Structure 1
Amino acid sequence: MSAEPVAQEQVTHEQVRSSPAAGGARVRVCGVRHHGPGSARAVLAALESLQPDVVLLEGPADADPLVALAGAADMEPPVALLAHVTGEPRTSAFWPFAVFSPEWQALRWAVLHGVPVRFCDLPAAAVLAMRDDGSGTGEPEGAESGGAEPGPGREDGEPPRGDGEEHGDDGPRDGAAPGTAELLRADPLAALAAAAGYDDPERWWDDVVESRLDAPAPFDVITDAMAAVREHAPALPAAEEERETRREAHMRQVLRAVLKEGAQRVAVVCGAWHAPALSGKLPPAAADARTLRGLPRRRVSLTWVPWTHSRLAAASGYGAGVDSPGWYHHLFTSPDEPVTRWLIAVAGVLRAEDLPVSTASVIEAVRLADALAVMRGRPLAGLAEVTEATRAVLCEGDESALHLVTRRLVVGEALGRVPAETPAVPLDSDLRATAKALRLKLDPLERTLELDLRKDTDLARSRLLHRLALLGVDWGRAAASLTRSTGTFRETWQLVWRPELAVDVIEASVWGTTVEAAATARAVERAGEATLPQLTALVERCLLAGLPQALPPVLRALDVRAAADADVEHLMTALPPLVRAHRYSDVRRTGSGDLAQVADALLVRVCAALPAAVVSLDDDAARDLRRAVDAVHEAVGLWEDPRGSRLWSATLAGLVAVEPGRQGPPGLLAGRIVRLLRDSGDLPAAEAARRLGFTLSRGTPAPAAAGWVEGFLGSGGGTVLVHDEDLLALLDAWVCSLPEREFTDVLPLLRRTFGGFAAPERRALGDALRRGSGARRGEGRSAGVDEERAAPALRTAAMLLGVPA
Structure 2
Amino acid sequence: MAIQILGIRHHGVGSARNVLRQLEQFKPDMLLVEGAPEMTEVLSLVGKEGLTPPVAIMVYNQENPKQSSFYPFAEYSPEWTAVRYANQNKIPVRAMDLPAAVSFVKRDAEEAAKEIPGEDEAALQEAPIPVYHRDPLSHLSEAAGFRNSDDWWDHHFESTLTNTDHFEAVHHAMDSLRAEGVVSGLDRENIDREAYMRTIIRQAQNEMYERIAVVCGAWHGPALVELDATAKSDAKILKALPKSKIKVACTWIPWTNSRLSIASGYGAGIYSPGWYEHQWNITDQTEIRWLAKVAATFREKQMDISTAHVIETYRLARSLAVLRNKPFIALDELNEATLSVMCMGDGILLNLVREQLIVGNSMGHVPDDIPKVPLQEDFEQHIKSLRLKLTAVPKTYDLDLRKEGDLERSVFFHRLEIIELPWLSRTASRTKGTFKESWTAEWKPELMIVLIDKAFLGNTIEAAAETLVRKQGTETDKITELARLIQLSIPAQLYQNLDHLLFRINELTSISADIVDLMNAIPRLVDISRYGDVRRSDLSVLNTVVQQLLTKVFVGLPNACYGLDEANSQNMFGLITRVNTGVRLYDNVDTEQQWYDTLHRLLDKHGVNHIILGCVCRLLLDAQQLSEEETERRISFALSSANDPFEVAAWLEGFLGSNGMILLYDNRLWNLMYSWVESLPDDTFTQILALLRRSFSKFEYGERRQIGVRARKGRAVETHQSLTEREGFDAERAAQILPVLKELLGGVE
State the TM-score, normalized to the length of structure 2: 0.90
- Describe the superposition over 1:140-189 as per-residue Cα deviations: whole angstroms up to 9, x where unpaired: xxxxxxxxxxxxxxxx99xxxxxxxxxxxxxxxxxxxxxxx989963221
Indicate whether 1:60 and 2:2 are aligned: no
1:697 aligns with 2:640: yes
* Matched AA of 1:272: A
Change in CA separation of 1:800 and 1:626 when aligned onto 2, cut-off 3 Å: closer
Post-superposition shift, 1:646? 2.2
Secondary structure in 2 aligned to 1:730? helix
Equivalent of residue 269 in structure 1, options 210, 215, 230: 215
Take 1:326 and 1:572, find their aligned partners in 2: how far apart are those partners? 55
Structure 2 residue aligned with 1:510, among 456, 476, 479?
A: 456
Q: Distance in 2 between matches of 1:86 and 1:28?
A: 35
Any idea what SS the aligned residue of 2:95 has? Answer: strand
Q: CA deviation at 1:522?
A: 0.7
- Deviation, 1:441, is 0.7
Matched to 1:349, the amino acid is T
Q: Paired residue for 1:291?
A: 237
Contact map agreement 2:262 2:271 (CA 8 A) in 1: yes
Aligned partners of 2:112 and 2:59: how far apart in 1? 18
For 1:84, what is the secondary structure of its paired residue?
strand
Report the equivalent of 2:610. Answer: 667
Residue identity opposite 1:461 in structure 2: R
CA shift digits 1:414-438 (9 cap, x unpaired) = 1111122211110111111112111
Of 16, 19, 29, the residue aligned with 1:40 is 16
How far residue 192 of structure 1 moved from its aligned partner, in angstroms, is 2.5
Aligned residue runs from structure 1 range 466-485, under 5 A = 466-479=414-427, 481-482=429-430, 485=431
CA drift of 1:731 comes to 2.1
Q: Distance in 1 between matches of 2:192 and 2:715?
A: 90
Counterpart in the other structure of 1:84: 60
Local SS of the residue matching 1:467? helix
Deviates most, 298-307 or 564-573 = 564-573
**Given the alignment of the two structures, is residue 311 of structure 1 paired with residue 259 of structure 2, yes or no?**
yes
Give the match for residue 662 of structure 2.
720
SS in 1 for 2:454: helix
Q: Which amino acid aligns with 1:30?
A: L
User: In the alignment, does 2:500 pair up with 1:557?
Assistant: no
Deviation by residue 1:416-470 (Cα, 9 ceiling, x = unmatched): 1112221111011111111211111111111222112222222221221121121
Amino acid at match of 1:431: F
Following the alignment from structure 2 to structure 1, what is the Cα–Cα distance between the partners of residues 574 and 590?
Answer: 23
Q: 1:103 to 1:693 in 2, by over 3 A?
A: same
Q: Does residue 358 of the first structure (1) align with residue 310 of the second (2)?
A: no
Which residue of the partner structure matches residue 455 of structure 1?
403
CA RMSD in angstroms comes to: 3.0
Any idea what SS the aligned residue of 2:554 has? helix
Equivalent positions of 1:577-616 (< 5 A) are: 577-616=524-563
Distance 1:798 1:129, change over 3 A: closer
Q: Is the 8 A contact 2:641 2:680 kept in 1?
A: no
Q: Judging changes above 3 Å, is the alpha-carbon distance between structure 1 residues 216 and 458 closer, same or farther for their aligned structure 2 residues?
A: farther
Q: Distance in 1 between matches of 2:85 and 2:699?
A: 71
Q: Out of 596, 600, 609, which is 1:653 matched to?
A: 600
Matches of 2:293 and 2:677 in 1, distance apart? Answer: 69
Alignment of 1:759 onto 2:701 = yes
**Aligned pair partner of 2:627 in 684, 695, 710:** 684
Shift of 1:676: 1.2
In structure 2, what is the Cα distance between the partners aligned to 1:204 and 1:236?
17
1:247 aligns with 2:193: yes
Counterpart code for 2:49? A
Whole-Å Cα distance in 1 between the matches of residues 366 and 270 of structure 2?
23
Closer, same or farther: CA 198–775 of 1 in aligned 2, 3 Å:
closer
Q: State the match for 2:517 in structure 1.
A: 570
Name the CA shift for 1:218/1:644 in 2 (closer, same or farther; >3 Å).
Answer: same
SS at 1:270 equivalent: strand
Q: Write the deviation string for residues 762-782 of structure 1: whole angstroms up to 9, x where unpaired.
A: 343455567775738xxx999
Contact 1:465/1:475, CA 8 A, preserved across alignment: no
Amino acid at match of 1:447: K
Maintained 8 Å contact 2:400/2:435: yes
User: Which position in structure 1 is the counterpart of 2:680?
Assistant: 738
Instruction: Mark the CA change 1:774 to 1:187 in structure 2 (over 3 Å): closer, same or farther.
Output: closer
Partner of 1:175: none
Residue 399 (structure 1) aligned with residue 347 (structure 2): yes
Query: Could you tell me which residue of structure 2 aligns to residue 116 of structure 1?
Result: 92
- Rounded to whole Å, the distance in 2 between the matches of 1:516 and 1:548 is 11
2-structure distance, mates of 1:435, 1:625: 45
- CA gap of 1:748–1:741, structure 2 versus 1, over 3 A, is same
> Does structure 1 residue 624 correspond to structure 2 residue 571?
yes
1:271-326 deviations in Å (ceiling 9; x for gaps): 01111122365435343233223642321111111111111111111111111111
Residue type of the alignment partner of 1:204: W
Q: Deviations over 1:476-518 (max 9, x none)?
A: 0112535xx5453221211111101111111111000000011
1: CA distance between counterparts of 2:494 and 2:565? 42
1:549 to partner: Cα distance: 1.4
The 1:697/1:755 distance shift into structure 2, 3 A limit, reads same
CA contact (8 A) 2:317 2:329 kept: yes
| Cα offset, 1:193, TM superposition | 2.5
Preserved contact between residue 486 and residue 583 of structure 1 (Cα < 8 Å): no
How far has the Cα of 1:136 moved from its partner?
Answer: 12
* Paired position in structure 1 for 2:649: 706
**1:96 corresponds to 2:75:** no
The Cα of 1:604 is off from its aligned counterpart by 1.4
CA contact (8 A) 1:209 1:217 kept: no
3-state DSSP class of the match of 1:479?
A: strand
Aligned mates of 2:130, 2:22 — CA distance in 1:
33
Q: Which residue, out of 526, 532, 536, partners 2:483?
A: 536
Number of positions where the alignment pairs a residue of Structure 1 with one of Structure 2:
716
Report if the CA contact (8 A) 2:670-2:716 is conserved.
no
Q: Is the 8 A contact 1:184 1:230 kept in 2?
A: no
Deviations 1:376-434 (A, max 9, x none): 11121112111111111111111221111111111112111112221111011111111
SS at match of 2:407: helix
Of 756-765 and 418-427, more deviation after overlay is shown by 756-765
Q: Structure 1 residue 709: deviation in Å?
A: 1.4
CA distance in 1 between partners of 2:532 and 2:358 (Å) = 47
Q: Find the residue that maps to 1:491 and give its secondary structure.
A: strand
Matches within 5 A, 1:52-451: 52-134=28-110, 186-212=134-160, 215=163, 218-233=166-181, 241=187, 243-279=189-225, 282-283=228-229, 285-293=231-239, 295=241, 296-297=243-244, 298-451=246-399
Distance 1:430 1:708 in 2: 57
Q: Secondary structure of the equivalent of 2:71?
A: strand
Q: Distance in 2 between matches of 1:135 and 1:435?
A: 37
1:593, CA displacement in angstroms?
3.1
- Structure 1: gaps spanning 5 or more residues: 1-24, 139-155, 158-180, 783-790
- Check whether the contact 1:454–1:587 (CA below 8 A) recurs between aligned residues: no
Where 1:335 maps in the other structure, the secondary structure is coil
| Amino acid of the structure 2 residue aligned with 1:452 | D
C-alpha spacing 1:774/1:664, structure 2 compared with 1 (3 Å):
closer
Change (3 A) 1:799 1:590: closer
Separation in 2, partners of 1:764, 1:195: 70
Say if 1:309 and 1:411, in contact at 8 Å, map to a contact too.
yes
1:525-582 CA distance string (max 9 Å, x none)? 1112233322221221111222111222222223333333322212211222222222
* Structure 2 CA distance for aligned equivalents of residues 135 and 747 of structure 1: 52
Q: Distance in 2 between matches of 1:443 and 1:137?
A: 39
In structure 2, C-alpha distance between the alignment counterparts of 1:121 and 1:642, rounded to whole Å:
74
